[in-house]
Structure 1
């Protein structure tokens, strides 16, 4: 069922439409050990998700590690409109320009990755009056502001971590 959205459009989990959102999904193995680390994408005004999925590749509506588990709604009113453009046009153009740039880049897990792609789009649109968006800032803001799409999204994120911690604690207790 579509959810109301403060930008006058709807988020729809069943069709995977997240207008004006940063979306996040766990990365197998990596998120199991560090549950705040995952794969990120940014959606257009119509909700189409773009994500830097690998070297020289930005996917559209097919996130590299599966459907979003979390989303963070952003406010189009905080977009710094380019001369003569409506904020919606600026948003879509920024997502497009960041995606085109990242189609020319090598993927680097630590320095230039999916989070950087989203940060570039936010910097291009000067979201919230800022040009200092980066992957670390987005990681923590997603942790604070992100909402799980469902209980399954929460379980998909945290259950593997809890199982891994349980195994590690058991092994420590057994061998100490």
Structure 2
């Protein structure tokens, strides 16, 4: 593996801030401030990706992670495990960029809260309904008192991601909604033809 690969970069490594783009002939340097979906860099964002089967039936339910100010993704991927830059169910298809200055003590508070929430969730059992990836993100936001609030929770995050989330591409939109539309269409056609 190339030593300049994003997966080998450690947060705080000075080389990370000038990481060259790996997309085609693009030689622009990653500066840590802009979204770069091709390199999976989503600075101070909440990111989301579909869950197989569950998202097909309920398209606003999926897997969530939170990113550092440098764009490194952290997600509660399973029991006692928080991944770094390797989301459990694939690359983000949707993101919601937040303002790190709305964290209680700004940018430093953002990264510290993401780290603290991730360390806490490395010691927790994953529970699909009660203590999951959304809960991990909510804890990070509560720790930093994002937007003056400490009442973030998984339901609120699910609803706000639905409202404010942006798809990374048309393909990402289709990956989220096409299976649901196929299932609904098939159900309607079956109901129509069996009732005739």
TM-score, reference length from structure 2 = 0.83
Kindly report which structure 2 residues correspond to 1:22-61, keeping only aligned pairs within 5 A, or say none.
22-61=46-85
Q: Provide structure 1 residue ranges, at least 5 long, that are not aligned to the other structure.
A: 3-7, 82-86
Q: Which whole-Å CA distance do the structure 2 matches of 1:76 and 1:89 have between them?
A: 9
Matched, 1:121 2:140: yes
Q: Which has the larger radius of gyration?
A: 2
SS in 2 for 1:14: helix
Q: Per-residue deviation at 1:26?
A: 0.4
Q: Deviations over 1:2-60 (max 9, x none)?
A: 9xxxxx81110110000000000000100000000000000001100000000100000
Runs of 4 or more consecutive aligned structure 1 residues displaced over 2 Å after TM superposition: none
Partner of 1:77: 101
Distance 1:170 1:121 in 2: 45
- Which residue of structure 2 lines up, in the alignment, with residue 157 of structure 1? 176
* Cα distance between partner residues in 2 of 1:46 and 1:144: 24
Deviation per CA, 1:105-125: give whole Å up to 9, x if none: 110111000000000000000
What is the rounded CA distance, in whole Å, between the counterparts of 1:53 and 1:77 in structure 2?
Answer: 27
Q: Which runs of 5+ in 2 are unaligned?
A: 1-22, 27-31
- Of residues 64, 89, 92, the one that matches 1:68 is 92
Per-residue deviation, 1:77? 1.4
Determine if the alignment matches structure 1 residue 109 to structure 2 residue 128: yes
Separation in 2, partners of 1:131, 1:18: 23
Counterpart Cα distance in 1 of 2:111 and 2:46: 13
What is the root-mean-square deviation of aligned Cα atoms in Å?
1.3
Q: Which residue of 2 aligns with 1:5?
A: none
Does residue 1:9 correspond to 2:33, yes or no?
A: yes
Per chain length, whose mean CA-contact separation is higher, i.e. which structure has more relative contact order (CA < 8 Å, sep 6+)?
1
**What TM-score do you get using the length of structure 1 for normalisation?**
0.92
CA distance in 1, matches of 2:190, 2:120: 46
Map of 2:165 onto structure 1: 146
